Structure 1
Amino acid sequence: MNIRGILNSTSFFSVVLDAGQLDDLAAATSEVRFGRGEVLMRQGEIGTAMYVLTDGKVTVSVHQPGGDKTVATLGPGEVVGEMAVITGERRSATVKAKGRVTALEITKAALAPLLAAEPKLAHRFGTMIEQRTGELTGRRDKVRQSISVGLGREQIAARMTSYYSG
């Protein structure tokens, strides 16, 4: 499947973006590969990209007193790193490849023209992130406060607007 097809089949984007916006995002997106044990992102870092996993699995862990705790294993079709790229927050978790991983890399620079052309996208992304946070809470309820910034869609949209306008 091509980049456009993958983005279209990923609800994080297909629910928020129209066909033309998906085309524009696909044109600015690249495929990247990670080897076993390679770090896609580290907790605390400033995020410059988010990823749509297309092949392989990653582990998501958070650093806590007493050591790192794995909170999720994610695979094809799932998105990682979106909060940092959408809002400018620091990474809330470390994500490592369990084996070989292929992903689509979507940078802040790829999203910026879409948001400049359609400011209402910030609210739609905010709604999507709020829904994802609710879904992830069920999976990670014991470490929820460690991995969630605790923001609602309006706060996410406001941070996104501020982050992309500055």
Structure 2
Amino acid sequence: MMDEEVKALSRVPIFANVDVAKLKLLAFISERVVFHPGEVLCRQGEEGDTAFIILSGDCDVLVDTGQGRKKIAELGSTDIVGEIAVLFEVPRTATVVATHMTEALALSRDQMFSLLREFPDVAFDIMRVLAHRLERTTQDLAELRGRLAGETV
């Protein structure tokens, strides 16, 4: 089981440069969890104390809007979710729901900070992932504003 988790972790972009011994430690300190289709990994607005590294399966990322709940992304193997709430102690920014049987490694806030202190390079990789998400969100917002401006003319 540990070797399977280490192999899966090595495919996660933010852990790509972490050596195998450190990945074994990460696999050891994390908890393997299973979500069935329809189960919620995390809920928008709630306090986030756990991040999830998806080993297998698929999830939808949903955001509550004035027009109801909207799907904004899909997650799958090697994606990490919940790290924003864990790292910055802010409410969850989205609801994540398993669409298929999903296996993940759960990392608590304490485990995440311990990992970042031990392996500072991971912090840079997480910042890179977050910057990419911010760029994508900014582009989506600009596109939406453009469409809304076109509708009001």
Q: Which residue of 2 aligns with 1:87?
A: 88
1:73 and 1:117 map into 2 onto residues whose CA distance is: 30
Q: Is the 8 A contact 1:14 1:22 kept in 2?
A: no
Cα RMSD, aligned residues only: 2.7
Q: Which residue of 1 aligns with 2:4?
A: 2
Structure 2 gap ranges (5+)? 145-153
* Mapped pair 1:137 → 2:120: no
2:100 and 2:142 map into 1 onto residues whose CA distance is: 25
Counterpart amino acid of residue 9 in structure 1: R
Q: Is the 8 A contact 2:15 2:122 kept in 1?
A: no
1:86-105, Cα deviation, whole Å (9 max, x unpaired):
22221100011113211121
How far the C-alpha of 1:112 sits from its partner, in A, is: 2.6
How far the C-alpha of 1:75 sits from its partner, in A, is: 1.6
Q: Is the 8 A contact 2:51 2:81 kept in 1?
A: yes
1:66-100, Cα deviation, whole Å (9 max, x unpaired):
21111112222222112112222211000111132
SS of aligned partner of 1:2: helix
User: Kindly tell me: are residues 144 and 93 of structure 1, through their superposed partners in 2, closer, same or farther at Cα, counting changes over 3 Å?
Assistant: farther
User: Kindly tell me: are residues 40 and 66 of structure 1, through their superposed partners in 2, closer, same or farther at Cα, counting changes over 3 Å?
Assistant: same
Structure 1 gap ranges (5+)? 146-166
TM-score (norm 2): 0.77
SS of aligned partner of 1:133: helix
2:81 and 2:48 map into 1 onto residues whose CA distance is: 11
Q: Aligned pairs, how many? A: 142
TM-score (norm 1): 0.71
Q: Which residue of 1 aligns with 2:150?
A: none
Larger Rg: 2
User: Kindly tell me: are residues 109 and 73 of structure 1, through their superposed partners in 2, closer, same or farther at Cα, counting changes over 3 Å?
Assistant: same
1:87-132, Cα deviation, whole Å (9 max, x unpaired):
2221100011113211121221222323344567544532342134
Counterpart amino acid of residue 99 in structure 1: H
Q: Is the 8 A contact 2:36 2:101 kept in 1?
A: yes
How far the C-alpha of 1:52 sits from its partner, in A, is: 1.7
1:55 and 1:121 map into 2 onto residues whose CA distance is: 21
Q: Which residue of 2 aligns with 1:55?
A: 56
